[in-house]
Amino acid sequence: MNRTDRRKFKSMTRRELLKLTPMIALGAFVIPKLRSPLLKAGLGFSDWASAKLFREGHLAPTFADSALTPLNKFPLNTYDVDDPEVDLDNWTLTVTGAVQKPGDYTLSQIKALPKTTQNTRHVCVEGWDVIGRFGGVRLSEFLKMIGADPRARFVTVECADDYYESLDMATAMHPQTLLCYEMYDQPLTRGHGAPLRLNVPTKIGYKQAKYLTDLKVSHVLEKAGYWEDQGYSEFYGL
Amino acid sequence: MTTRAIAIEDAKTGEVTVAAYEHPFLVRLCHWVNAVSLFVMVGSGLQIFRAFPSFGAKIPQKDLLHWPKAFAIGGWLGGALQWHLTFLWIYVASGLLYIGYQVFSRNYRQVLFTPHDIPGVWPMVRHYFFFGAKPAAREAYNPLQKLAYTAGIGLGVLSVLTGIAVWKPVQLSWLAWLMGGFHLARLWHFLVMCAMVAFIFGHLVMVVLHGWNNFVSMLTGWKKEPEYRVE
């Protein structure tokens, strides 16, 4: 056993204690001025990792009809009104941005594209989840029809209730990303977003905007989404 | 495994005290970074849980408990998610650094519970809970401590795996599938947190019972007057 005296032992243990001082850096999170940029950076890093984990060909799990949550137990989450009183007879989807054929598209023009139906899980950021049946056309097919610039990076949508959302292009092109006009083989009810909503099984619930009125293809993201602009994750891929 | 030790001489009285070097620097650093990040993860996790305090259906919703906002971090769901999705990286980094260091330095033998330790568990339980005689200590951690710390580290690994399953139920769907799907993975994540909090409670009780020298050893690495023989 080595020997030492009290003074030397004291200075040695003090040195060992001082080695832990870099931990004070974590105290930056307590300073209000630094806290929000730090948390923003942390959330941004998580979003970056999320985008890296996204695989174009990887499908979200699908479920048998017997696993479906009944339609009356499929929650309606809205941020202000359940029914923004869309005029369903004269409704069109207004397309703008980096596309060859901008303009107003009717529901029957959209429905003319090949139909896809899928039973997928809807996960809410609050923590609950349901399995629903969604029918519609692939957003990728619609983007092809309107001649979207393949180099564009975002698809943003606006809604009749002033809600707005965005999708990165990789997610917009995913085969399970739908412009959805049916749930449970019935036309969308007003509460679930009639006449057209997004169904994106690779994303969290708040990305699945309802009552769509406008769709824009863009190279830069002007606004990420209603909840994103209050501090939620911009990417939130599942 | 033997612990490095030193004899401290008091120049005036000639008295000799022994100290053992129990915790290498990286173990101490990881311990305290982990303590801070776990505090934030549990606090923000409870705020996230407040948004839907149930593990059943949304309709009809039966709340499990109403956790008070005062004992949660983040203020609201979006704020809590920012804390959770930021500190998860600090939490995981401290865990990986700790496990990596323990393996490469072979210091893991100090804490890892092995079949060798099984016979020593019951005498320690008898001592702690049923007033049995204190078994002679031979190394820094007794068999029951090794069992507790090994389980605690296992809970840490599970907290991350169940958390990833909840965060990535599509891209890493196999992980959620292993846990019985997203819905159950969220429950496992919560239960692992409960077990972790129980472990920390027990840990803190033991820290208080074992006194100052023991506490200081996690700051400086050195423990004065260890209860076991050193060479």
The ipTM, to two decimals, is 0.92
Judge whether A135 lies within some domain. Answer: yes
Judge whether A35 lies within some domain. Answer: no
> In angstroms, what is the C-alpha Rg of chain A?
24
For B168-220, write each residue's pLDDT tens digit: 999 999 999 999 999 999 999 999 999 999 999 999 999 999 899 999 999 99
Question: B20 with B4: CB under 8 angstroms?
Answer: yes
Judge whether A48 lies within some domain. Answer: no
pLDDT value of residue B162: 97
> In angstroms, what is the C-alpha Rg of chain B?
21
Burial code (b: 16+ CB inside 10 Å, e: under 16) for A82-114 equals eebebeeeebebebebbbeebeebebeebeeee
Write out residues in chain B with pLDDT < 70, as ranges.
1-2
Nearest CB among A74, A126, A130 relative to B77 is that of: A126
Domains and CATH numbers, chain B: 5-52+85-224 (1.20.950.20)
Judge whether A63 lies within some domain. Answer: yes
Helix or strand or coil: residue A131?
Answer: strand
What letter represents residue A122's amino acid? H
Structure tokens, B187:
């429950």
How close is the nearest chain A Cα to the Cα of B125, in Å?
Answer: 32
Asked if A10 reaches chain B (Cβ–Cβ under 8 Å), the answer is no
Return the number of other C-beta atoms located less than 10 Å from residue A120's C-beta: 21
Judge whether A209 lies within some domain. Answer: yes
Q: What is the DSSP string of A140-155?
A: HHHHHHTTB-TT--EE
* Residue of chain A nearest B224, judged by CA positions: A9
* Nearest by Cα to A209 from A143, A139, A145: A139
Whether omega for the bond prior to residue A195 falls within 30 degrees of 0, making it cis, is yes
* Nearest by Cα to A119 from A77, A78, A178: A178
The crossing angle, in degrees rounded to 10, of helices B182-220 and A6-18 is 150
Return the number of other C-beta atoms located less than 10 Å from residue A39's C-beta: 21
Strand ranges in A63-219 using DSSP code E only, listed in sequence order: 93-97, 103-105, 115-123, 129-138, 154-159, 164-168, 178-183, 186-187, 197-199, 212-218
pTM of the model: 0.93
For A63-118, write each residue's pLDDT tens digit: 999 999 999 999 987 777 788 888 889 999 999 999 999 999 999 999 999 999 99
Whether omega for the bond prior to residue B60 falls within 30 degrees of 0, making it cis, is yes
> Tokens 């958390």 correspond to what residue?
B163
* Nearest by Cα to B186 from B208, B163, B202, B168: B163
Write out residues in chain A with pLDDT < 50, as ranges.
none
What CATH number is attached to the domain comprising A83?
3.90.420.10
Judge whether A91 lies within some domain. Answer: yes
Burial classification of residue A142, based on how many CB atoms lie within 10 Å of its CB (0-12 exposed, 13-18 middle, 19 or more buried): buried
Asked if B28 reaches chain A (Cβ–Cβ under 8 Å), the answer is yes
Interface of A with B in 154-193 (CB under 8 A): none
Helix or strand or coil: residue A87?
Answer: coil
Contact A42 B28 (CB under 8 A): no
- d(C-alpha B20, C-alpha B6), whole Å: 6
- d(C-alpha A215, C-alpha A206), whole Å: 17
Structure tokens, A151:
């180099």
Asked if B18 reaches chain A (Cβ–Cβ under 8 Å), the answer is yes
Q: Which of A21, A23, A39 to mutate to test the interface with B (most CBs of B within 10 A)?
A: A39
First to last CA, chain B: 11
- d(C-alpha A194, C-alpha A169), whole Å: 24
> Tokens 């865990």 correspond to what residue?
B95
Which domain does A214 fall in, by range? 57-230
Q: Which of A129, A168, A208, A234 to mutate to test the interface with B (most CBs of B within 10 A)?
A: A129
CA max distance for chain B: 76
What letter represents residue B58's amino acid? K
Domain count along chain A: 1
Interface of A with B in 37-56 (CB under 8 A): 38-43, 45-46, 50, 53-55
Judge whether A26 lies within some domain. Answer: no
Contact B81 A20 (CB under 8 A): no
Q: Which of A2, A9, A40, A124 to mutate to test the interface with B (most CBs of B within 10 A)?
A: A9
Judge whether A6 lies within some domain. Answer: no
